[in-house]
A and B are shown apart, each in its own frame.
Chain A
Amino acid sequence: MIAAARCVVRRDLLLALRRPSDVGTALLFFVIVASLFPLGIGAEPNQLRAVAPGVIWVAALLSSMLSLSRLFAADHADGTLEQMLLGVSPLGVIAAAKVFTHWLVSGLPLVLIAPLIALQYDLPASLYGTLALSLLLGTPVLSLIGAIGAALTLGLRGGGVLLSLLVLPLYVPVLIMGAGSVDMAAAGLAPQGQLQLLGALLLLAAAFAPWAIAAALRISTE
């Protein structure tokens, strides 16, 4: 079981490594979306500082959305998903491994690059920690919830649009708590409460989402 999970993580990382453009696109999308806002709303520093957490979080949300539709679609098309369904390890474990890899290649880079974006918004350096931490806790939740949607819309025509309609509303709590924690810290309050809620969401999603993904995969491959 552990061997199968490790094998799937290794395989997906190898695939991402051989197709670096896929990873690069999502990251570049994040940077571009976050850079468009100052152009649109003007370069008034106080205003930028105020909108920064929200903008960075929304950009992260959209960017993690972008790579979701490919999460299972490629495996579905070439038949490897069937082999996973017929594997000896529980499908939930395989799904968890796939989501973890998805986060490693699409979520983690956002966490690492976010302080750079924050610099663009003149966010005080003292907030970088909170911002990175909130993304570190929040982006895995995005991957987990998104994967349920990706599994449900697998093989549907126009699945990509449906996927965003399905998943974006579910991202709302993560967005509120993620951006909220940075806002709290910016106002000089303790962000721990929001971060703990994010952590709780992560635990909840990590415990239940893999099984929901597995069930959704079985439904949509029928």
Chain B
Amino acid sequence: MLEASNLDCLRGGRALFRSLSFALQGGELLRIVGANGSGKTSLLKILCGLLSPEAGEVRWQGTPIPNLREDFTRHLVYLGHAPAVKDDLTAAENLTVACTLAGRTASPQQAREALESYGLAANDVAVRRLSQGQRRRAALARLLLSAAAPLWLLDEPFAALDAAAARFTEELIASHVAQGGAVVYTTHQEATIGAAALRVVELG
């Protein structure tokens, strides 16, 4: 599915990693570990095409991703370091916008259900008034509506979440992998995701 070959990453004149190669199949879970500043976020950004590697390339189904662009991104969910929610919109509005941009249609009903299963009431409260953890939940609710996208790239999905929400996210990831999806994620928390094939890439 996703193949990284000989990736080099330079940030600010410093080499974060060199000749990093791995291949990811459907049904596999890949965890990127490493200390702060070891290039986990950079690697995720390279994998989704937001950053171009210094050398090497990322291939999706055998084709380099810069050649695919929208044909690659439609198969992808990327949850970045910033939660990608607008402070002045409500959680439901944010979710609808995110789904539309990703080319998926989410009915108000679906959006409400997704938010409720993440423990957020779909009311008129702007995200600005929510706590950090609730904001994160509002961002993660996207995953519930993105089962159709095979590849999930999640940067610190468990950050700022309480135990219940973290467990719910773990289950979500596990079930996505069980259904043949591929998930790449970074975390500092000790997450236990019940997946058959867990692989680890260590940076730094």
Contacts and interface: CB of A to CB of B under 8 A. Distances in A.
Interface in B51-74: 51-52, 70, 73-74
A88 interface: yes
Interface of A is mostly: helix
A18 B84 contact: no
Given A3-B100, A4-B103, A14-B93, A86 B86 contact: no
Interface in A1-33: 3-4, 7-8, 11, 14-15, 18-19
A18 to B, nearest CB: 4
A86 B49 contact: yes
A44 interface: no
Interface of B: 48-52, 70, 73-74, 76, 78, 80-89, 93, 96-98, 100-103, 105, 126
List the 10 shortest-distance A-B pairs measured between CB atoms, nearest first: A79-B82, A88-B103, A79-B84, A87-B101, A7-B100, A18-B88, A88-B74, A86-B73, A83-B84, A80-B84
Nearest to A80: B84
Contacts of B126: 18
B83 A87 contact: no
A7 B83 CA distance: 19
Contacts of B52: 222
A82 B86 contact: no
B10 to A, nearest CB: 12
Given A78-B82, A78-B83, A221 B50 contact: yes
B191 to A, nearest CB: 22
A205 interface: no
Nearest to A75: B86
A207 interface: no
B9 to A, nearest CB: 12
Contacts of A85: 50
A82 B80 contact: yes
A14 B70 contact: no
A7 B98 CA distance: 9
Nearest to A218: B50
B102 A83 contact: yes
A86 B142 CA distance: 14
Interface residues of A, number: 25
12 contacts: A3-B100, A8-B101, A14-B88, A19-B88, A79-B84, A82-B50, A82-B84, A83-B102, A86-B76, A87-B70, A89-B70, A89-B101
Interface string A114-141: 0000000000000000000000000000
B60 to A, nearest CB: 13
Contacts of B101: 4, 7-8, 83-84, 87-89, 94
Nearest to A16: B88
Contact of B98 (A83, A89, A222): A83
A77 interface: yes
A54 interface: no
Contacts of B48: 86
Given A18-B126, A79-B84, A88 B73 contact: yes
Residue in B88, B101, B103 with the greatest tally of chain A CB atoms within 10 Å: B101
Contacts of B88: 14-15, 18-19
Nearest to B71: A88
